[in-house]
Amino acid sequence: MRIDPRQLLNLLAIAEHGSFNRAAAARGISQPALSGSIAELERKLGYLVITRTRRGSELNEYGRILVQGARTVEALLAQTADQLRLARLGVAGPLRVGATPSMTLKFMPDLMGALLREESSVQIELREGLDDELIPALLRGDLDLVLGPALGPALPVGLTEQALFDDAFAVGMSPRNPLARRRSLSLTELRDSLWVLPGPGSAYRRYIEALFMAAGIPWPSNCVVSNNLQLVESIITLTDRISMVTQLQVRAHNYWRMRTVPLRGGGRRTLSAKWRRIGTLPPIGTRLVELAGAQGAELASA
């Protein structure tokens, strides 16, 4: 069954404006034409997507699913129009890329350097954020590509994921910390330590929570919380506190010369690139993923 994109956009207008009259005005069509479009959509689907009330029109569960697809269609159409406009100017893009904090320390600068050596005329928007804000933005069509921790089975429907490289966990601390002389550490040995840990909203935080839970250790109550990795590094090297860090973070940035000790049982995470299945990445986005894969392979072999 094929759904007419115009019907999806009409449904999106109703969701955004709350009534058939206002939605029809926004779409530049008559109210009967809009009603007929939604009735035809519901007839084709075989079920209702809108509940009509005295307060207006509300989407039901099926309508909300369709509106998510409608937003993707709207974003794709807008992106295509922008691509055509930029192509006439000889500019590659547009491309909107989101990256998690550890990726922006060095991986993203190196990646952008490689891309910009190939493409001198581009329109690229870069945004740093946590997974829990970047992934919804990708699903809405506000971003085209997200680089960060792999989601695996938790990857939302409608997204594609390509693994880039693996990233091992360790414990970061000041060189003056007595633990810095250890060859390795376990979380059990760190039960009474003072921590600086990431805040909620990311796969990184959820992975660390799982490590604490597997070790039977409660989440520390005496804890400094920050998602700014440079700030975390500065705090642990100027105090007796420790933090969970990854190989990527240590390789990418160690201005404060923190010491790291391997964490037994800490495992590793996979970093990946994610994009929407609907439509295709613009050529510059495809090239960025290729370069990210090559850069990840270099990190894995180092």
CA distance 301 to 251: 13
pLDDT at 259: 92
Q: Are 198 and 226 in contact (CB under 8 A)?
A: yes
Q: Which residue do the tokens 């805040």 mark?
A: 199
Task: List strand residue ranges (DSSP E) for 75-219, in order.
Answer: 92-99, 122-128, 145-149, 159-173, 195-197
Residue 302 has pLDDT above 80, yes or no: no
Q: Which fold has domain 5-72?
A: Arc Repressor Mutant, subunit A (1.10.10)
pLDDT tens column, 44-65 = 888 889 887 777 678 888 888 8
Q: Which fold has domain 89-165+271-301?
A: D-Maltodextrin-Binding Protein; domain 2 (3.40.190)
Architecture of domain 166-269: 3-Layer(aba) Sandwich (3.40)
pLDDT at 85: 87
Sign (positive/negative) of CA torsion 13, 80, 110, 270? positive
DSSP strand pairing (56-59 vs 122-128)? unpaired
Q: Which residue do the tokens 């990646």 mark?
A: 111
pTM of the full predicted structure? Answer: 0.79
Where does the chain hold its CATH 3.40.190.290 domain(s)? 166-269
pLDDT at 231: 92
pLDDT at 56: 66
**Mean local confidence (pLDDT), 228-257:** 88
Q: Are 143 and 288 in contact (CB under 8 A)?
A: no
Where does the chain hold its CATH 1.10.10.10 domain(s)? 5-72
CA distance 112 to 37: 45
Q: How confident is the model at residue 119 (pLDDT cuts 50, 70, 90)?
A: very high
**Mean local confidence (pLDDT), 32-49:** 90
What mean pLDDT is reported for the chain?
A: 90
pLDDT at 251: 79
Q: Are 142 and 72 in contact (CB under 8 A)?
A: no
Where does the chain hold its CATH 3.40.190.10 domain(s)? 89-165+271-301
pLDDT at 20: 87
Q: How confident is the model at residue 77 (pLDDT cuts 50, 70, 90)?
A: confident
What letter represents residue 150's amino acid?
A
Concatenated DSSP letters of 45-83: HTS--EEEETTEEEE-HHHHHHHHHHHHHHHHHHHHHHH
pLDDT tens column, 125-166 = 999 999 999 999 998 888 999 999 999 999 998 899 999 999
